Structure 1
Amino acid sequence: MPPYQPSADWQYEIPTTGSKRLPPAARYVESLTHQGYGFEAAIADLIDNSIDAGARNVVVSFLRDDDRLAGLLVVDDGCGMNDEALDTAMTVGGREGYAASALGHFGAGLKAASLSHADSLTVISRTKKSPSTGRRWLTARAQADFTCDVVDPRYCQDLVDRYDGIVEWHGTIVRWDRVRAFDTVTAGQADRFLNDAIEKLETHLGLYLH
C-alpha cells in the first residue's frame, strides 16, 4: 500500500480504508431506563404520539387490583398501526418519516418514556384495514438480545374490545406493567398516591399540551 499523501486541504480530511456496520449492543436498552423522564413528562410523550397519529381522544387509565396499582394504559383513537408499522415503532430509532407537525423526531420517545418507568411495555394497535396486533418489550430480555415479544392476537383483540368506546375501527393502546413507582406504594396508600398522581398529571398536561 502506497504511503498516505495528504492534500493541500489535509487539515480537513480524514483518510478512511473502508467501513463496517456496528449495530447497538443489546444493553443499549438499559440506557433507555435511565433517561431522567419525570412520570408526567413520560405520559405526555405518549400522548404526543397519539396526537401525531391523529387521535381525537386519549384516555390515561390506571389499572388497580384492590389496594395494589397493577399498571397503566394510554388509549387513543388515532390511525393505528399494522404489523410492519408496529415493528418499526417498537424499534429504537426505527421511525424514519415525520410530518412537519409531528412532536417527536428521533424514534425513541415511546421506548425511552416507557422503559424509564416500567419493566414491561406492551403496544397493541389496529387500523381500519388490519386486525389488532401487539408487541411487548421486557426490559430484561431486551437488554440480553433485543428480543421483542409478539402478543397473542386473541389477547390483542380482547383488550381492544374492552376499550371499544375509544378504539372502534382504529387506535392504539400502550400498556405499562411492573411500574416501578407503583411498587413503592405501601398498603393503604393507593388512593392517596392516585389522587396526587392524577392531579400532577392534569396540571402538567394542561400546561404542556394547552
Structure 2
Amino acid sequence: MEARYFLVYLTFLAMSSYMAYATDPTQLQDFCVAVNDPNSELFVNGLLCKNPMDAKPEDFFKDGLDKPGDTNNRVQSAVTLVSALQLPGLNTLGISLARIDYAPYGLNPPHTHPRASEILTVIEGTLYVGFVTSNLANGDNKLFTKVLNKGDVFVFPQGLIHFQFNIGKYPAIAIAGLSSQNPGTVTIANAVFGADPPINVDVLSKAFQLDEHIVKMLQSKF
C-alpha cells in the first residue's frame, strides 16, 4: 500500500515539474515571424551577451537620470527610459526603469505596455493617475483612478490602458519600474490615428461613432 502511494506521489511530482517548465518565455518584441530557412537572419529574444569575464562595473551603471526630460511637446511630458539598450547590465534581468517629467498640466497620455506591469512613484508634484480593465464579463471596462502626491506609489497591471496627468501648477516628476527589459509602449491615440499606412476612415468612424471628417482631422494631427 505504501509503495502505491509513493508511486502516485512520484507521478504527481513529475507532472508538477512538467507544468512548471512547460511555459513560453515572455516575448521581448511585438512579434517574431517564423521562417524555415537556416540561412535567414537570426533575431534573438533580447540582446547578445558579452563574455562574463569581460564585464566591468560600467556595464551596470548609468548616470544622468537627475536631468529633466524635454516637456516642450503637445502633451507636455517626457519619458526617459533606462532599458538594456541604455544600461547593458539589465540584459536578461527582466526589468527596466523610466523617469517621467510633467510640465504643469502635462499628460502622459493613455497607453499600454504589452510586456510589462508598471509601479510608479511620485518624486515631486501631484498626479491624477488611472487604468482601465480589459473587457469584463458584462462587457464593461472599469476605471481605477487615484490622486497621488509626493511619495505615493501606484501599480498599473501589464497590458492595461493607463495614464498620468499633472493636476498641479508646478512641474511633477515620477519614477516608474517596469517588469521587462523591453516593456514596449503603445500610445493609444498615436497608434489608432497615426498608424502608417492609416487605418481606413470607415473603420474608425464606426468604431468611435465619429463623423468621417472628424476622423480625418484627428488623423491629420498625427
Q: TM-score category by the smaller chain?
A: under 0.3
Normalising by structure 1, we get a TM-score of: 0.25
Between the two structures, name the one with larger relative contact order (CA 8 Å, sep ≥ 6). Answer: 1
Structure with higher Rg: it is 2
Normalising by structure 2, we get a TM-score of: 0.24
More strand by share: 2
More helix by share: 1
